[in-house]
Structure 1
Amino acid sequence: MKFIDLFAGIGGFRSGLEMAGHECVGFVEIDKFARRSYRAIYDTEGEWTEHDIRAVRASELPRADIWTFGFPCQDISVAGKQKGFAGKRSSLFFTVTGLIRDLEEEDRPSILLIENVKNLLSINGGWDFLKLQVELDEIGYDVEWDVLDTAEVLPQHRERVYIVGHLRGRGGRKVFPIRRGNEQAISQSEQNTNTLTTRYGESQGSGLNVVEPKPQKVKQIGNIVETSSFGGNPQVGRVYDPEGLSPALNTMQGGGREPKILIKEATKKGCAEGYEGDSVSFSQPNSKTRRGRIGAQITNTLETGLNQGAIIKVKDTYRLVINGIEYAIRVRKLTPLECWRLQGFTDEQFYKAQAVNSNSQLYKQAGNSVSVPVVYAVAKHLNINA
C-alpha cells in the first residue's frame, strides 16, 4: 500500500513500513536538520513534500492508503507542561484531521497509523484521549490502540501508544494485540514494564530543552554508610553525581557480582547500584524526585539530548585487580550511532545522516524518532482487504 509520512522526522515510520512492503509517496517535516537526514537516507527524488503541515492543502496531497503521523508530544509528555491538546504543538493532530475533513470520502486514507507518548492516554484525566477518539469517529474511523514497548525488540525501555484508525466501509483486520510467531499474544500484566503489549483498546461507531551533560571529572556528593562499617572503608558507600565520571571502584567480597557504581536517586537508600553493561540516565540531573536512572542491561527511554550513559569495563592505571584482570569501572556516554541502533536504524542509515548533520542533531533525531522494529511489527498487520 502507498503511504504519506507526516511529521516524518528521520523516517522511523518510513523504514518500518518499507520493511513491510509499503511504498512512500510523500512526506512532511518542518525541522531542516531532520529533513537533511531524511533526504540523505531515503530515495525521495520526485516525491511530493512540504515543510509545514499547517501550509498543506488537502487538494495537493497525493493519494495514499495510509497516513502515518507521530504528532508532536511536547504538550503531552510528562517532561513537558502538560497542556495536552490545548498546547500549540500537540494540537497539530487536529490540523491533520482537518485535512481529512477537506477530502472527499473516496480520497481519504483507509488507515491512520498514529504514535505518541503513553501519557496521551491519561493526560487531563483522559479527556484528551477521548477527544482524539471522538474526532476520529466523526471523520469516519474506527479506532484501536495499544501501548508497545521497544524493550520487546531492542534494549531500550520506551513505551509508546500506537493508534490505528480504520476507515469504515473499507474493510481491514484488527492489528492489536500484536502476536509472536507462535500466535500467542504478546500481552502481560501492566506490572511487567518490559513487554511489547501492556494495554489494548478500541472504539467503534460513535518540548524539551536540549542540554548536553558535560562530565569532566569525578563528583562525589555523599556517602550512605558509616566509616565504621565495612572495616572503615568509605569507598563502599560513596555516591557520585550522575553528571560526573566514576572513579575505579574496589570490589567487595561476598556480593557475587562485579564492582558496582552508585548513582544518586530519589529513594530511601539515596542511590541505585549499577554494574557493567547497565545504562545510566542523566536526564533531569538536579531533580529531587527522579528515580529509575539505572537500566539493568537496557537503556531507559531515549530523549532528544545526550542523556544516556553505559557502565563499561576499561583498562586503567588504578591497578584494580579482580580475578587476575586489571581494570576500572566508569560511565561513558552512548554514541550517536548507538542511539540510532537503539531505535532500530541501520549503520548505513546512520552514516548517511552523519554526513549531513552534527552529533547534537543526531542525538536529538534519535530521541524524537519512533522505533523502527515496533513500526514494522504493526505495519505487517495493516490490511484493507481482510
Structure 2
Amino acid sequence: MVSSEPFLDSLPVTPSPKPIALEFFAGGGLARLGLEPWFDVAWANDIDPMKCAAWRANFGAEGLIEGDVATLDGGTIPPSPCLAWASFPCQDLSLAGDRAGLSGRRSGTFFGFMDRLNDLARRGDPAPVVVVENVKGLLNSRQGADFTHLMAALATAGYRAGCLEIDAASFLPHSRPRVFIVAVRRDWPIHPALVSKPGAPNPFLTQAVMHAMDRLPAELQSHRVDWHLPAPDRKPPSLADLVDHGDQTWWTQAKVAQFFTQLSPAHAARLAALQADGGAHIGTMYRRIRTDQGSKHQRAEIRFDGVAGCLRTPAGGSSRQFWIMVEGNNIRIRPINPREAMRLMGVADTYHLPHSTLAGLKIAGDGVAVPVVAWLSQHLLAPLAQAQPRSLHHDARLGPMAERI
C-alpha cells in the first residue's frame, strides 16, 4: 500500500543547501552541467589528465580527484552524499567495440565504482540514489549476462533499481540512445508517482529495456522498479541552429569529387534526389569501412533526417562526423568542429574547450547529453533526493510518504 497523494508536475523546489552529488567518471563535467541546478556536485573523479584539465578549467580544482577509481581513497568523498552518478566507460559494451563486456579492462571499471559505493556503506553513509549510465549495448552484452551482473551488484549493495532508455534526439538534433539505471537504497521511500503504472505510456521504458528487465532472475525481480519519466515538452533545436558559420574549413572540390565515389547506390540516389529538389539541405556524414562482395571499401554514409549521427570518440578516420550542405549542384562538406559537437551535446558556448581539436571532440564523444541529465534530474532524481526519511512528514508539497513501495 502506498500513498495516493498527488505529486508535483512542476519543477521541484530545490532545498537549501542542495543535496550533494558525486560525479564518477566525470570526463569534462557534462553530467555535472545537467545535475547542478538541483544538486551540489561537490566531488568528482576521472583518470584522464586531459579531461581533468578541462573539468578544472570550467569548474575549478576543488573537489576533483584525478586517478583510478579502483584505487581511490574513499575517505576523500564528502559526508552525506545523496546521489552518485557513474557514466563508466562503454568501449567493451559498445557495438563498435570488442564486446568484452564487464570483464573488459575499461568497462570493468564499473566494479571499482561499486567498491567506492560499498566504502560509503561501510562508513555508515551510503548514497541513497545512484545512476549508472552507458550505451544501449549494455542491455544485451554477453546475451544479457552483463546487465544481470550489474543489477546483481547493485542489489547486493542494498539497492533496488530500474532502467530507462533515453535518446538525446528527444532533446537535441543528435541520435544518442543511452541507458540510465536508477537505483535507490531499499529503505528509501519512493513516491508512487515516480513509478510507471501498468499500461500507461512511458516512452523511456522501451521494448529493449523491458526485455532486459523481464529476463532478470527471480531473486532480482523483487528489487526491480519500473520508473516513470514523462516525455519532454520542448521541440529540439534544428541542425542549422548549431552550425558554426564562421568555420570555413570546407573540403576542396577534388575531395568532394572523391566523396561521390564512396557513396553506395542507395546513398547516391538519396543525394541525387536532394539535388533535384533544388532547396537547401543540411545533413551529416560518416565514413565507414564496409564489406561488399568479400572486399572492404570505405563508404560515405549520409543522413538528412534532421538528426546528427551519434558522436564518437575520435580514434580514427571513421570516427569523425561531417556536415554536408546541399543546394542544387553546390555541395559543401567539412568536419564537425569541437564547439559544434558540444552544442550537439547541449553544452553552452560558455564552456571552455581544450585547445586541441581531438581533445574537444573526445570530451563530447565520451560525454552524456546535458538536457537528458537535466530532464532526468528534474523529474526523477531531484524528487527522489528530496524524499529524505527525516523530512517525510514535513514536506507538504509531496504529501505523506511514510509508506514505501
Report the counterpart of residue 397 of structure 2 in structure 1. Answer: none
Is it true that 1:89 corresponds to 2:120 in the alignment?
no
1:59 shift after superposition: 3.0
Given the superposition, is the C-alpha separation of residues 98 and 188 from structure 1 closer, same or farther in structure 2, using an over 3 Å criterion? Answer: closer
1:73 is aligned, of 64, 81, 90, to 90
Q: 1:119 & 1:277 partners in 2: Cα distance? A: 29
2:309 is aligned, of 273, 285, 300, to 300
Given the superposition, is the C-alpha separation of residues 103 and 252 from structure 1 closer, same or farther in structure 2, using an over 3 Å criterion? Answer: closer
Q: 1:31 & 1:295 partners in 2: Cα distance? A: 35
The answer (yes or no) to whether the contact 1:312–1:332 under 8 Å persists in 2 is: no
Matches within 5 A, 1:100-179: 100-104=117-121, 106-173=124-191
Matches within 5 A, 1:1-386: 1-19=19-37, 21-45=38-62, 47=63, 49-63=65-79, 64-104=81-121, 106-173=124-191, 185-186=202-203, 201=213, 205=222, 217-218=254-255, 239-241=260-262, 257-258=277-278, 276-284=281-289, 293-305=302-314, 307-313=320-326, 328-349=330-351, 352-354=352-354, 357-380=355-378, 381-382=380-381, 383-384=384-385, 385=387
Consecutive unaligned residues in structure 1, runs of 5 or more: 192-196, 207-213, 222-237, 243-248, 260-274, 315-321
Q: 1:29 & 1:144 partners in 2: Cα distance? A: 26
For this pair of structures, how many residues does the alignment match?
Answer: 318
Report the counterpart of residue 227 of structure 2 in structure 1. Answer: none
What letter matches 2:255 in structure 1? V
Given the superposition, is the C-alpha separation of residues 159 and 292 from structure 1 closer, same or farther in structure 2, using an over 3 Å criterion? Answer: farther
The answer (yes or no) to whether the contact 2:136–2:177 under 8 Å persists in 1 is: yes
Q: 2:56 & 2:170 partners in 1: Cα distance? A: 29
Q: 2:271 & 2:43 partners in 1: Cα distance? A: 56
Given the superposition, is the C-alpha separation of residues 42 and 59 from structure 1 closer, same or farther in structure 2, using an over 3 Å criterion? Answer: closer
Q: 2:86 & 2:172 partners in 1: Cα distance? A: 22
TM-score normalised over the length of structure 1? 0.72
1:291 shift after superposition: 9.5
What letter matches 1:367 in structure 2? G
Report the counterpart of residue 246 of structure 1 in structure 2. Answer: none
What letter matches 1:258 in structure 2? G
Q: 1:311 & 1:171 partners in 2: Cα distance? A: 50
1:57 shift after superposition: 2.3
1:200 shift after superposition: 8.9
1:120 shift after superposition: 0.3
The alignment yields a C-alpha RMSD, in angstroms, of: 3.6
TM-score normalised over the length of structure 2? 0.69
1:293 shift after superposition: 4.3
Q: 2:287 & 2:273 partners in 1: Cα distance? A: 26
Bigger helix share: 2
Q: 1:162 aligns to what SS in structure 2?
A: strand
Q: 2:22 & 2:94 partners in 1: Cα distance? A: 25
Q: 1:252 & 1:147 partners in 2: Cα distance? A: 34
The answer (yes or no) to whether the contact 1:75–1:90 under 8 Å persists in 2 is: yes
The answer (yes or no) to whether the contact 1:280–1:308 under 8 Å persists in 2 is: yes
State the identity as a percent.
26
The answer (yes or no) to whether the contact 1:73–1:89 under 8 Å persists in 2 is: yes
Given the superposition, is the C-alpha separation of residues 288 and 340 from structure 1 closer, same or farther in structure 2, using an over 3 Å criterion? Answer: same
The answer (yes or no) to whether the contact 1:284–1:290 under 8 Å persists in 2 is: yes
CA deviations on 1:7-61 (whole Å, 9 max, x unpaired) are 0001111000013x2101111011111111111111443x252322122122332
Consecutive unaligned residues in structure 2, runs of 5 or more: 1-18, 215-219, 224-249, 264-269, 388-400
1:311 shift after superposition: 1.6
* More divergent stretch after superposition (280-289 vs 114-123): 280-289
Task: Tell which has more relative contact order, 1 or 2 (C-alpha 8 A, sep 6+).
Answer: 2
Given the superposition, is the C-alpha separation of residues 156 and 120 from structure 1 closer, same or farther in structure 2, using an over 3 Å criterion? Answer: same
Q: 2:271 & 2:342 partners in 1: Cα distance? A: 34
What letter matches 1:59 in structure 2? G
Given the superposition, is the C-alpha separation of residues 107 and 48 from structure 1 closer, same or farther in structure 2, using an over 3 Å criterion? Answer: farther
Q: 2:143 & 2:187 partners in 1: Cα distance? A: 32
Q: 2:159 & 2:83 partners in 1: Cα distance? A: 13
Q: 1:148 & 1:343 partners in 2: Cα distance? A: 14
